[in-house]
Amino acid sequence: MRLSVIVPCYNEETCLPRLRAELLHVLSPLTEEFEVILVDDGSTDDTLGQLRAMARADSRFRYLSLSRNFGKESAMLAGLKHAAGDLVAILDADLQHPPELLGDMVALIDKGYDQVVARRNRTGDARVRTAASRAYYRMMNRLVDVELTDGVGDFRLLTRRAVDALLSLEERNRFSKGLFAWIGFDTAVVDYENVARTDGDSKWSLRSLVNYGIDGILSFNHQPLRLAMYLGALCTAAAFGYALWLVAGALLNGTTAPGYVTIMCGIIGFGGMQLLLVGVLGEYLGRIYQETKQRPHFLLKETSHSVAPETPCVD
Ligand code: UDP
Ligand code: MG
């Protein structure tokens, strides 16, 4: 069995020595043939220097360095494209995805699963964040066709055919949680205890989390557009009813001047709603624009191995 382990790294110099030790400790008994593909996602600290040293010392540790920070999604994709294993695992550099779980995960693949995902509980997370993600997933699962699970992240083990399926999805705007669920195949779940990050910092801010949430909703369905249609239909029906009532009143009682409050509420309410819905349209339009440009998902600056001729450095 050949096993590839992909690790996206963005400014993780403090985590890498421990990561290397843990991976060696876990992988050596598991299989003789493994490779660790560390993807430097345009780090500004000494991550790349450490990756070079790791690759020099042990040829099973390989690295790819992207030309700038393309984001974790692109870093994972770069790793997936370069992984040669029959089984491919993805885990974070900060050891929040405990490598010792890989043993159990491989055992499940042997039972016939194509994807094994690790699911963390939320011990130690801020309560607000836990509640927010619960609500988010409840809403998402109502909107989106694919089933997303709270606590399930990118930590997973895939068979070659699952990886190939994933690579066949060429979209630029990658929401991998959704993509992993979209490809389907028999999926097993392994639970693990939440681990706090010990070194370095999380790259998530509140703003990036909110943006990620919006990405999730928009990149997997066009329900928001449908919602706009329903809302429009509802408002039109209400407006007709109200207009009839006004006309009937005017015919019966003649016209009177009052109505300032109604008009103001109407202008403000409908103005706001229209702007919001134009925003939703704009989001989809922006996505179409990004897709039509067909830019590569990432650019490589340097690798530990010469890239095979059929895999160009771009993409
Ligand atoms: N990461 C990356 N590119 C980025 C941001 C993060 O490759 O632009 C990597 C990071 O090095 C880590 C993983 O993605 O290995 C998860 O990042 P982080 O720990 O910040 O996320 P969290 O665990 O807080 O969700
Ligand atoms: Mg982390």
Q: What is the mean pLDDT of each run of 10 residues along the chain (315 residues)?
A: 92 91 90 92 92 91 94 93 94 90 92 91 78 83 76 89 93 85 89 79 79 80 82 89 89 82 86 86 88 91 71 53
- Enter the pTM of the model: 0.81
Return the closest-CA partner of residue 66 out of 38, 85, 93: 38
The reported pLDDT for the residue numbered 68 is 93
Q: How far is the CA of 233 from the centre of ligand 1 (A)?
A: 43
* ipTM for the whole complex: 0.94
Mutation probe of ligand 1 site: the residue of 39, 51, 92, 155 with most atoms within 8 A of C-beta: 92
The reported pLDDT for the residue numbered 270 is 86
Among the atoms of ligand 1, which is closest to the Cα of residue 153?
Answer: 25
The reported pLDDT for the residue numbered 194 is 81
- For the sheet with 115-120, list strands across it: 187-192, 115-120, 152-159, 87-90, 2-9, 33-40, 61-66, 300-303
Q: How far is the CA of 202 from the centre of ligand 2 (A)?
A: 5
Q: Residue whose CA is closest, atom 18 of ligand 1?
A: 202
Q: How far is the CA of 278 from the centre of ligand 1 (A)?
A: 33
The reported pLDDT for the residue numbered 105 is 93
Would you say 9 and 71 are in contact if contact means Cβ atoms under 8 Å apart?
no
Q: How far is the CA of 199 from the centre of ligand 1 (A)?
A: 12
Q: Residue whose CA is closest, atom 22 of ligand 1?
A: 202
Residue 157: its H or E element: strand 152-159
